[in-house]
Amino acid sequence: MLGRTYPDQACSIARALEVVGERWTLLVLRDTYRGIRRFDDLLASLGITRGVLAARLSWLVDEGLLERRAYQARPERFEYVPTAKGLELWPVLMHLLLWGDRYYPAPGGPPQVAQHKGCGGRISPQLTCDRCGRQLGPTDVTVQPRRRRSHPRPAAQLTR
């Protein structure tokens, strides 16, 4: 596909970016981590067109980062659940979050905070809990998402 590949780059970073570097792809994955997994919910969360969302979901399913699961039979409805391969990009998203929090805090309020579920500790640059020291993974952390120009939503959890 034009515009997404990195010809002449044998680097695994380039290859990874060919898979997840396209606009919106990592944000779709982010939402599925935190439990937003149905088409219309993703549409509302991301504010993109149906066409773009459908293309990103289809790509992520084809590449094995998301699994498409029926949650309703009549009419048939699907949700998109991150696979182990999809979940292994969690550190990429967490480091982008930490970096964005540090250098580009959200205007009009505190940046969203990633916390160790249950414990309440903050996530360290080593992706450990700064309170109990445990190594954290995608199911251990809650994130308080916030949309611009709207009211805060309840904390969403990164769930499997």
Interface contacts to a second copy, rule CB under 8 A: 3-4, 6-17, 19, 21, 23-24, 26-27, 30, 46-47, 64, 85, 88-89, 91-93, 95-106, 111-112, 125-127, 135, 145-149
Backbone phi, then psi, for 86, in 5-degree steps?
A: -65, -40
Q: How far apart are CA 42 and CA 35, in angstroms?
A: 10
Backbone phi, then psi, for 143, in 5-degree steps?
A: -130, 135
Sign of the four-CA dihedral 148, 152, 153, 158: positive
Which residue lies nearer to a second copy by CB, 15 or 160? 15
Q: Where are the beta strands (DSSP E) in 36-145?
A: 66-72, 77-82, 114-116, 141-143
Closest approach of a second copy to the CB of residue 108, in Å: 8
Closest approach of a second copy to the CB of residue 75, in Å: 29
Closest approach of a second copy to the CB of residue 72, in Å: 28
- How distant is the alpha carbon of residue 28 from its chain centre? 6
Which residue lies nearer to a second copy by CB, 73 or 103? 103
Closest approach of a second copy to the CB of residue 35, in Å: 15
